[in-house]
Amino acid sequence: MSYNLCEKVRELEPYQPISGTYKVRLDANESFFDLPPEVREEIKAIIDKTDFNRYPDPTAKKLTEAFAAYYGLDPENITVTNGSDEMLYLLASAMLERGSRVVVTDPDFSMYGFYSFLSENEIFTYKKNDKLNIDAEELAEFAREKNADMIIFSNPCNPTGQGITAEDARKLVRNAGDCLVVLDEAYMDFWDEPLLNEAGEYENLIVLKTASKAVGAAGIRLGFAVANPTITKALRAVKSPYNVNELSQEIGTCIYSHSEMLRSRRDEIRENTAELYEQICKLISNYQLPMDALKPCANFVFVRTDKAERIFEYLLENSVAVRYFGKAEALRITTGSKQENGVFLQLFEKFIIENILKTNR
Ligand SMILES: *Cc1c(COP(=O)(O)O)cnc(C)c1O
């Protein structure tokens, strides 16, 4: 007798973000700001006070309150997890029965489909239109047709940077009937159409937030689910008790209490993204390139071009990392600092001149 891995995991490969070191990292939608010195000082004091021999607070009370205060929420509606990723897994596994029917959209964050696959749900994919938008009515209709138990999508969307308005999202939640809607608002700090602040008022809505993007704390792994008290009780019950470690709770509490710092950084990220988008559009129009940059509602720009792979490799060779999407023939460029964006734009233009213009003549 010998042990065999079960079929569904046999061929899986561990998640591999870009490997190697690059001078400019515009590939993972992180904040380009690291924590400022005064916050680092507070974190040093936190480490000094930590009882490393004790389990952390399973309810993450202080952190929940700091997060609630920053976004103007009721702490009773919040569940904290080890990054949103943990919650995505719980939603697909604990909150659904095997064989449940899950609607995802394409293109969208690939983890939704992945956890549904692991949890042996049945997956139905709503294809976005050519502009990569979601038609909220169509999506609700699609979910009804498929008799879906859960719809999950990101708004604004990773990787397209496109969003649906709060009014459309509301209609979708109302039209979804007894289907659970999971709205991943990881990037909503960069746009102004959230359902976050009304999440507790619906029977069938969960809004997800993360500390990994606008808040600039991807390294400490904090995710938040906001929903009515009935759903929240279930989420708190199914998570592992000590899912968020003591340091992440304390450091997260500290970071969310610096609301002015967070808001001004968020604004700067927005400005840089707008400028990056404009500069990319300018290059596309100046050189009359057959490329299409989508106006972003998030902190990155999505560019569709049949040269995506070559541009991606050229950038890597020059120590600039962006994200390449093969199936969509596209690049996703996270905004960096002005200086980092400048490095990217210069290389992008150089590629155009040396590889696109020359070969066309
Ligand atoms: C980055 C991202 C998250 C955040 O995941 P964490 O596990 O909290 O780092 C969630 N949803 C989407 C769509 C993302 O792009």
Q: Report pLDDT digits (tens) over 90-111.
A: 999 999 999 999 999 999 999 9
Residue 352 CA, ligand 1 centroid: distance in Å:
32
Decide: 218 in ligand 1 pocket, CB within 6 A: yes
Is any atom of ligand 1 closer than 6 Å to the C-beta of 158?
yes
Report the separation in Å between the CA atom of 290 and the middle of ligand 1, taken as the mean of its atom positions: 31
Per-residue pLDDT at 16: 83
Cβ(83) to ligand 1 under 6 A? Answer: yes
Q: Say if ligand 1 is within 6 A of residue 184 CB.
A: yes
Residue nearest to atom 2 of ligand 1 (CA): 186
Query: What is the residue with the minimal CA distance to atom 12 of ligand 1?
Result: 186
Distance from residue 221's CA to the centre of ligand 1 (Å): 10
Radius of gyration for the chain, computed over Cα atoms and rounded to the nearest angstrom: 21
The secondary structure element, H or E, covering residue 260 is helix 259-286
Atom of ligand 1 nearest to the CA of 29: 1
Task: Give the residues of the chain that fall short of pLDDT 70.
Answer: 359-361
Atom of ligand 1 nearest to the CA of 222: 8
**Residues 276, 332, 153, 73, Cα dihedral to 10°:** -40
What is the 115 CA–ligand 1 centroid distance (Å)? Answer: 13
Question: Count of residues for the chain?
Answer: 361
Q: Which two tokens stand for residue 167?
A: 């009014």
Mean pLDDT across the chain: 96
Q: How many Å lie between the centroid of ligand 1 and the Cα of residue 210? A: 6
Atom of ligand 1 nearest to the CA of 85: 7
pLDDT at residue number 303: 98
Contact present, 151 and 182 (Cβ < 8 Å): yes
d(CA 115, CA 96): 11
Nearest protein Cα to ligand 1, atom 14: 186
Which residue in 69, 106, 111, 321 sits closest to 197, CA to CA?
69
What are the two backbone dihedrals, phi and then psi, of residue 294, each rounded to the nearest 5 degrees? -90, 135
Quick check: helix, strand or coil at residue 302? Answer: strand
C-alpha 280/C-alpha 284 separation (Å) is: 6
How much is the pLDDT for 17?
79
Instruction: Specify the residue with its C-alpha closest to ligand 1, atom 11.
Output: 186
- The pLDDT of residue 177 is 80
The pair of three-digit structure tokens given for residue 185, joined into one six-digit string? 């608002």
- Mutation to probe ligand 1, out of 108, 155, 210 (largest number of atoms < 8 A from CB): 210
pLDDT at 180: 98
What pLDDT score does 359 carry? 67
Q: Are the C-beta atoms of residues 255 and 213 closer than 8 Å to each other?
A: no
